[in-house]
Amino acid sequence: MEESLARKLICEVGNLMYDRSYVVSSDGNISIRLDENRVLATPTMTCKGRMTEDCLAVTDIDGKPLTDKRASSELAMHLLIYKERPDVKAVCHAHPPHGTAFAVAGLAIDKPILSEVILTLGCVPLTDYGTPSTNELTEAMKPYVKHHNALLMANHGAVAYGDDLWQAFDRLETLEHTAKIAILSRMLGGSRNLSPDAIEKLINVRQSAGYLDESARCQACGYLHETNLSCPTGDRPKPNAYSSSANGSGKVSLSREELVELLSQAARLNDS
Ligand SMILES: [Zn+2]
């Protein structure tokens, strides 16, 4: 992509992220893959609502600076995604409040509650906690990047990516909107999941329409648990403890420790 246009786009999307409170202060970061070996990224310690086109940093695909501007310390997350996904040309990382609330509560956004989200975004897994700006974070994300277009990072925030920056931003927006609807529906007494049959049809539609291909059918996808569809890929990450603990059928699986903790909580309630 042409660099001057990419600079303009990053500032525009940064402004939008800030206006929508997906980031505050100097949170978050955005990047665009300019060509095979160059990445344009937001600078370190800069508010996304006050960026100028000349403040952005250019690095190579390993993060080596190619200008005198320093890229965000979280650039490694973006570089991991570019390496794992040759199709991805842009990445948005932010701390949108509803999506991040899921990440803080230890929950994936993987309940089949909205038909269009199944079609366009797919489920959003929760990756284990890793210290920001270290390879703990990128190691935790790595198994999920191939099969999803957005991830939640435990006790941190969200990242979304796509063919271009607008698609990455749209995915981040869908993630946040879905999380907000999920929280609101819980306040109204709980959400009703789509039926396994409806989920299967949506997954088939999204594949034939080319929204998301078979690679999105990884077993970390909470939607699949209810259907007869299976994951075509070998290197499937295991769904994490939180996202697999409850799903659409109302079935709940708990580890021994979780069960003991639950029973002792109930006993304490009875005592009080
Ligand atoms: Zn962050």
Average pLDDT over residues 186-204: 92
Q: In angstroms, what is the span from residue 29 Cα to ligand 1's centroid?
A: 7
Average pLDDT over residues 236-251: 44
Residues whose CB falls within 8 Å of the CB of residue 27, separated by 6 or more in sequence, listed in order: 48, 94, 95, 157
Residue with tokens 């088939």: 204
Alpha helices for the chain (secondary structure H): 3-19, 75-84, 97-105, 115-120, 135-145, 165-187, 196-209, 241-244, 256-271
Burial profile 204-216: b = 16 or more Cβ within 10 angstroms, e = fewer: eebeeeebbeeeb
**Residue 270 confidence class, pLDDT cut points 50, 70, 90:** low
Instruction: Select which of 74, 173, 176, 226 is catalytic.
Output: 74
Structure tokens at 200: 């299967």
Q: What percent of the chain has pLDDT over 90?
A: 72
Active site residue 214: no
Q: In angstroms, what is the span from residue 97 Cα to ligand 1's centroid?
A: 12
**Half-sphere CA count of 190, side-chain side, radius 13 A:** 5
Residue with tokens 């069960």: 259
Residue 41's H or E segment, with its range, is: strand 38-41
Q: What percent of the chain has pLDDT over 70?
A: 86
Q: In angstroms, what is the span from residue 204 Cα to ligand 1's centroid?
A: 34
Ion ligand 1 nearby residues (CB, 5 A): 157
pLDDT value for 228: 79
pLDDT value for 207: 87
Which CB contacts under 8 angstroms, 24+ apart, belong to 34-40?
A: 34/1, 34/3, 34/6, 34/58, 35/1, 36/61, 37/61, 38/66, 39/71, 39/75, 39/78, 39/79, 39/82, 40/3, 40/6, 40/7, 40/10
Q: In angstroms, what is the span from residue 191 Cα to ligand 1's centroid?
A: 29
**Residue 269 confidence class, pLDDT cut points 50, 70, 90:** low
